[in-house]
Structure 1
Amino acid sequence: MTISLKTRITAVGPEVADLAEGGVVILFADGSPSELAEVSVLHAVEDQPSAEAPATGARISIGSLEATITSVGSSAWQKVLDIGHVVISFNGAESTERPGEICASEVDTQALVAQLQTGTAIIIHA
Structure 2
Amino acid sequence: MTTFYRTKITEVGPDVADLIDGGVLILFAAGAPPELAEVSVLHEVIDGSTPQAPPVGAKIRIGEVEATLTAIGSLAWAKIADMGHVVVNFDGATTSNRPGELNASVLTTELLASSLKPGAIIAITA
The TM-score with structure 1 as length reference comes to 0.98
Q: CA deviation at 1:109?
A: 1.5
**Displacement over 6 Å in runs of 4+:** none
Deviations 1:43-88 (A, max 9, x none): 0000111111111000000011100000000100000000000000
Unaligned runs of 5+ in 2: none
Confirm whether residue 117 of structure 1 aligns to residue 117 of structure 2: yes
Amino acid of the residue matched to residue 49 of structure 1?
S
Equivalent residue for 1:74?
74
Q: CA deviation at 1:22?
A: 1.2
Q: CA deviation at 1:20?
A: 1.0
The within-5 A match list for 1:49-88 is: 49-88=49-88
Amino acid of the residue matched to residue 107 of structure 1?
L
Aligned alpha-carbon RMSD (Å): 0.6
Distance in 2 (CA, whole Å) between partners of 1:19 and 1:116 is: 13
Q: Secondary structure at the match of 1:124?
A: strand
Equivalent residue for 2:104?
104
Distance in 2 (CA, whole Å) between partners of 1:38 and 1:107 is: 22
Distance in 2 (CA, whole Å) between partners of 1:117 and 1:21 is: 16
Equivalent residue for 1:39?
39
Distance in 1 (CA, whole Å) between partners of 2:50 and 2:25 is: 21
Percent sequence identity over matched residues?
55
Unaligned runs of 5+ in 1: none
